Amino acid sequence: MVANNNNTNYNNNIITTNKNKLQIASEQSVIHFDSVKEESKAEKISHCHQDLPKDWQWTKLDLFNNATSNTERLKLNITICKCNQLKTARALLNTEWPHFRRNLTDDEWSAPHYELVKQTRQELKNAGYRVKDIRASKCYMPGYKNKKGSTLKELSVLLVPEKQDHRYTAILIHKETKIIVALKGDKGYLTANQRRMNQVATGTANTILKSSVGVHIDDYL
């Protein structure tokens, strides 16, 4: 677990954002009914609602720590549901910031997406997060036998630890849109099997419903 920043003045809120700046919004946590207590399901869900990119229904982020010799090895699994189809991506969050630019041309590095990544990282620094705790990575496609596949241009992620143990904030940046997800790994949010697989936190962002779904009762009866 990354040591949390004692110099920040955060309460237990998570960061939400629009396209250009960070804002604070309250956490949301949904607890399953007592009747849903199978071994395969966690007791709690960490989720929020926000504007997602076009045709996205939701995105789920699962954080793993494959630590070796007291050194964290963080990997983020990203699942995106778009047009009711699932796509997956990965991010390795273990290299220093200068490595982020690797394999990007000068034109790509100055494009709006990566300018937004740089801006968001600076905003996190201004908010009080320690530089060494701000992790950033380009995302990539899953490869053969769980190896690293091709880099996904204009899909990036930043990750910071929160003051409360087992809590993180992930900022997934798709093109010029920020998606802020609170990741939680304290009691109830992960199953024993997930912990055995070195998962340390999870979180989901659902799209905001903008149009009515279903049939009104007056149109049915």
Q: What is the pLDDT along the chain (221 residues), one digit of tens a residue?
A: 444 444 444 334 444 444 444 443 434 433 333 333 445 677 777 768 888 999 999 999 999 999 888 889 999 999 999 999 999 999 999 999 999 999 999 999 999 999 999 999 999 999 999 999 999 999 999 977 667 889 999 999 999 999 999 999 999 999 999 999 999 998 888 999 999 999 999 999 999 876 667 888 888 88
Predicted local confidence at residue 31, as pLDDT:
36
Does 13 reside within a domain? Answer: no
Q: Is 198 helix (H, G, I), strand (E, B) or coil?
A: coil
Does 97 reside within a domain? Answer: yes
H or E segment at 138?
strand 135-142
Contact 50, 18 (CB under 8 A): no
Parent domain of 183: 43-209
Does 37 reside within a domain? Answer: no
Contact 140, 75 (CB under 8 A): no
Q: Which residues pair with 187 in a beta bridge?
A: none
Predicted local confidence at residue 27, as pLDDT:
40
Instruction: Count CB-CB contacts under 10 A for residue 195.
Output: 11
Instruction: With CA atoms as reference, report the closest residue to 90 among 79, 77, 100.
Output: 77
Domains: count for the chain:
1
Predicted local confidence at residue 156, as pLDDT:
98
Predicted local confidence at residue 95, as pLDDT:
93
Please give the model's pTM, rounded to 2 decimal places: 0.76
Does 112 reside within a domain? Answer: yes
Any alpha helices (H) in 86-153, and if so which ranges? 106-109, 112-126
Does 96 reside within a domain? Answer: yes
Does 116 reside within a domain? Answer: yes
Predicted local confidence at residue 215, as pLDDT:
86
Predicted local confidence at residue 28, as pLDDT:
40
Does 11 reside within a domain? Answer: no
Q: Is 146 helix (H, G, I), strand (E, B) or coil?
A: helix
Does 33 reside within a domain? Answer: no
